[in-house]
Amino acid sequence: MTADETTIVERAREFLAGHDPDAMGREAFLRARYDAGLAWVHFPPGLGGLGAPRGLQAVVEREFDGTPQLDVGRQAIGLGMAAPTLLTFGTEEQKRRFLRPLWTGEELWCQLFSEPGAGSDLATLATRAVRDGDDWVVDGQKVWTSGAHMARWAIMVARTDPDVPKHQGLTYFVCDMHASGVEVRPLRQITGEAEFNEVFLTGVRLPDTLRLGAVGEGWRVAQTTLMNERVAIGGTPGRRGGGMMALITETWRTRPELRTHDLHRRLLELWVEAEVTRLAAVRLREQLAAGTPGPEGSGMKLAFARLNQALSGAEVELLREEGLAYDDWTFRRSDTVDFVGRGPGYRYLRAKGNSIEGGTSEILRTIVAERVLGLPAEPRADKDVPWKDLPR
């Protein structure tokens, strides 16, 4: 055990000796853990961390096993995307205001990026933010917004200068989801539920103190969010044979009457692919511990989507007509994200979204080709054209 690790272990055990979650309650326990610098140890002191190496987070989680945990299904966007963006581009006041309730889950976050005419090509987005004194007035429409119906805050990109090329006229904001003019409408999915939403913004006034980064540098700030998003989706830690693979192999072991030679061969191939993907995710997270995420996260997100869809399809094929049965089509507003919940029919349908959410597979392949493999860039006729002159 290194000196750093010993210090972290001692600090965690000292904290646990003085804080009984059963007596304190979950939220109070999490607030105290944040204040002790044991939330995310690589964050600065006073912001939930100790300024320690990021790799020591695993040591903290091991010591806090069995104590109240974060609800990752509800907090994924805040923890995985908003927090690293706030840490990199936020003012000290913004960091102190937002990070603590974000980490404890007392305030949930969503991401106002995609639009009806700007999803795959995010830089073409049309939501406008116009300066009015100390405020910005925002008008536009966002779509495919996970968890907007529960969110207190959102990270948002808006166009603040239509007279310059599309990547240069964007500015990044924190949007108050309780502000006048914010309307959230559910989008019913193929599963019957509504994790996603449309968000209409009509004359929404946001103070300039909610801007992240400089005016016109929204694309640069958004890249930090997007790189972290792909690591959050594709690089999530998993155990060998866990997740979707655990479900299908359990059926294989307990239902010998369903086995066929072809499915056996396919399951073996998927097992190898799942293990390669898991180990690549481990390596990616180690690279992340040494710095900020790079374009390699796009490759992991691609692999995750392809594997999840292949596994859920193989499970339905293995179960035959039983796998096609669906538990409940009742419309519901999901309050969490669960890729493996409910049953095989749900998993099969839900996995279809994996190649759209968090960046489409087509866009991610372009990023991998150009920024990881160094292949020639696609011709871009709109590169130097003012956004207002682009055909729409």
Q: Are 225 and 173 in contact (CB under 8 A)?
A: no
Kindly report the number of other CB atoms within 10 A of residue 92's CB atom: 10
Torsions phi, psi for 252 (to 5 deg): -60, -40
- DSSP-assigned letter for residue 389: G
CA distance 390 to 387: 5
Contacts of 271 (CB under 8 A, 6+ apart): 241, 245, 249
Encoding tokens for residue 35? 């204040």
Q: Considering 193, 229, 296, 315, which one is annotated as catalytic?
A: 229
Q: What type of residue sits at position 10?
A: E
229 is catalytic: yes
The terminus-to-terminus CA distance of the chain in angstroms comes to 59
Cα–Cα distance list, 381 to 167, 384, 387 (Å): 13, 8, 12
Torsions phi, psi for 138 (to 5 deg): -110, 135
Q: Are 192 and 328 in contact (CB under 8 A)?
A: yes
Q: Which residue numbers are catalytic?
A: 229
